[in-house]
Amino acid sequence: MSGRDVLRGLAAGRVAVGAGLIAVPAFVGGRWVGPDASSPGTQVLGRALGVRDLVLGLGTLEADRRGESLRTWLAAGVIADSVDLVATAAAGESIPAQGRWATVAVAGAAAITGLVLLQGAE
């Protein structure tokens, strides 16, 4: 698997998560933050977060398609994933353990992957 394949997979995953949060924030967010995800206020935040990930993923894919620099898109993704990791870990036991640890693992892996890809990006 090439670095481009990893980049495209990371970006496509971001698009999928973003679209899911926009379409069904209570379901997707419920896996992360628990029953509070069904409240209207939390759904607003879930959709806003979904738009963030959708834009980051689509922007990365489009820059790759055009042969443009990916550095800014990758750096933005690393920052977003790092904030997700830290915010989730800081929430501690106020959110379900399964969602907390899954998010820490996925966000951490995405941030590390983004950092590795950033090293080789033009």
- Quick: pLDDT tens for 51-101: 999 999 999 999 999 999 999 999 999 999 999 999 999 999 999 999 899
Which position has the token pair 């951490």?
108
Which position has the token pair 């090293």?
119
Greater confidence, 91 or 29? 91
Query: How far is Cα 121 from Cα 83, in angstroms, rounded to an integer?
Result: 22
Selection from 48, 76, 79 nearest residue 60 by Cα: 76
- The DSSP 8-state label assigned to residue 58 in this structure reads H
Model-level pTM?
Answer: 0.91
Task: Return all residues near 79 (Cβ < 8 A) that are at least 6 apart.
Answer: none
Q: What is the pLDDT of residue 48?
A: 95
8 Å CB contact between 70 and 117 = yes
